[in-house]
Structure 1
Amino acid sequence: MPKVRVHNVTVSLDGFMAGPNQRLDAPFGDGVGWGDELHAWFVGAMEDLAAGKGGTDVEYFARGDRNIGATIMGRNMFGPQRGAWEDESWQGWWGDNPPYHHDVFVHTHHPRPTLEMAGGTTFHFTDESPDQVLGRAFAAADGKDVRIGGGAATIRQYLSAGLIDELHLAVAPMLIGRGERLLDDLGAGIDGYRVSELVGSSTVTHAVLVRR
């Protein structure tokens, strides 16, 4: 049966996925940058995989793309704009050929027309409920799994509703202190999960949560 999965989500020791004030020139917020201490493992694993190298980080990184047929993300992951779209020129952080190559469903209070990109990626902007979006994503995935891509608020929403089957976290040895926490206010939804894997590498500790 197809699953709902989350992969390669990095959090600090104090549980933050991003710093405060996320914006165009600071996508991960103040004090957090791409390739810095929080995301160094991810960048290294991506480069090692491309070079044909292995290792713990590479294995966990590579899992994130296996058997994925559709992706769900929040508005904040798609881009830095908030509120109503000023225009529809923003097409995501990833250039003309995003790395998804399948249907991507973007949660937003301000839907806009479907956006077809090179390489087979199509962004759908929706204000539907998680259950409805998940149904559309499973249909688009055509028998494959659905990935929840982030950000923190979107993952929390699906996790607290008990809709995620598998969640992979990479815990980085640093403190951020403020910003966007991932595992706050989950309520009873978190009771349905257990830690199935806890593996350390030279950079992070990988933890996998699955349904009980």
Structure 2
Amino acid sequence: MGKVKVAAFSLSLDGYGAGPDQSQTHPLGVGADGLHKWILGTRTFQAMTGGEGGSTGVDDAFTRRSFKNVGAWIMGRNMFGPVRGPWPDASWRGWWGEEPPYHVPVFVLTHHPRTPLEMEGGTTFHFVTGGPDEAMQRAREAAGERDVRIGGGVQTVRAYLQRGMIDEMHLVTSPVVLGQGEALFAGIDLVAAGFRCVEHVASPEALHSVLVRTGTD
């Protein structure tokens, strides 16, 4: 069985993974666009979004590594899109166009049923109404021997941290201060949970830190 991982998850210097007031105009929350500056210029990201060129340094290496051995994803509804409440129709198909960068099953946590959405390139979004435990069970079954990647947002990662289900986290600290938003580790004791830092590498844009839970590395 593979591991459960968080990878390429961006945080501000003051510990926020998203800003306040998320919307279609501000999908990361107001003021949070700079959180992901480190990844936008990488060759891997450019290739994923139909661009050309891009950097090949530390940030690109971590971006490329974050997609290795992933057999399924779990994400919260906010990461899939800005629609709230019952789905009015099937018109919202994600932020990523007709070929999302996942290429494996993706399990979206939501309170409102929706039929699976099959996209180009092997991505199918499954909308899970039974909560984080059901999503994890289904993701593990889909992933088989490969890893399950927790894609976010903050509340989704926190839900699995609080359940003790995450084996490894690659966190990227960007030189941005938000002041408010969604704090990833508020009330969570990572030491008590068994995490330790096993790798930390700086680039001109960010600090990459890898934390593993005792007994899973």
Would you say same fold, with TM above 0.5? yes
Q: Distance in 2 between matches of 1:169 and 1:190?
A: 18
For 1:180 and 1:48, locate their aligned partners in 2 and report how far apart those are by CA, in whole Å: 25
- Are positions 1:157 and 2:170 aligned together? no
Matched pairs, number: 209
- Unmatched 5+ stretches in structure 1: none
Cα distance in 1, alignment partners of residues 131 and 66 from structure 2: 24
Q: Is the 8 A contact 2:98 2:119 kept in 1?
A: yes
Displacement after TM superposition at 1:92 (Å): 0.7
Q: Deviations over 1:149-205 (max 9, x none)?
A: 000000011012110111111001121001111111225785221111122111111
Give the SS at the match of 1:21: coil
Look up the match of 1:128.
Answer: 130
Which of 163-172 and 47-56 deviates more?
47-56
**Equivalence for 2:101:** 99
Letter in 2 for 1:25: T
Instruction: Assess, with a 3 A threshold, how the Cα gap between structure 1 residues 190 and 88 changes in structure 2: closer, same or farther.
Output: farther
Amino acid aligned to 2:58: T
Query: Post-superposition shift, 1:88?
Result: 2.1
Q: Does 1:204 align with 2:206?
A: yes
Q: Aligned ranges for residues 72-87 of structure 1 at < 5 Å? A: 72-87=74-89
Q: TM-score, normalised by structure 2?
A: 0.89
Residue 41 of structure 2 is matched in structure 1 by 44
Question: Which amino acid letter does the alignment assign opposite residue 42 of structure 2?
Answer: A
SS in 1 for 2:115: coil
What do the CA deviations read for 1:48-97 (whole angstroms, capped 9, x no partner)? Answer: 87438532111111111101011000000000012222222111111111
Contact 1:46/1:61 (<8 A) preserved: no
1:19-58 matched pairs, under 5 angstroms? 19-33=19-33, 37-46=34-43, 50=47, 51=53, 54-58=56-60
> Would you say the 8 A contact 1:48–1:54 is kept in 2?
no
Q: Once superposed, which parts of structure 1, at least 4 consecutive aligned residues long, lie more than 3 Å away?
A: 46-53, 187-190
Q: Return 5+ residue gaps in structure 2 as ranges.
A: 48-52
Deviates more, 1:37-46 or 1:117-126: 37-46
Q: CA deviation at 1:142?
A: 2.6
CA contact 1:162–1:189 (8 Å) conserved in 2: no
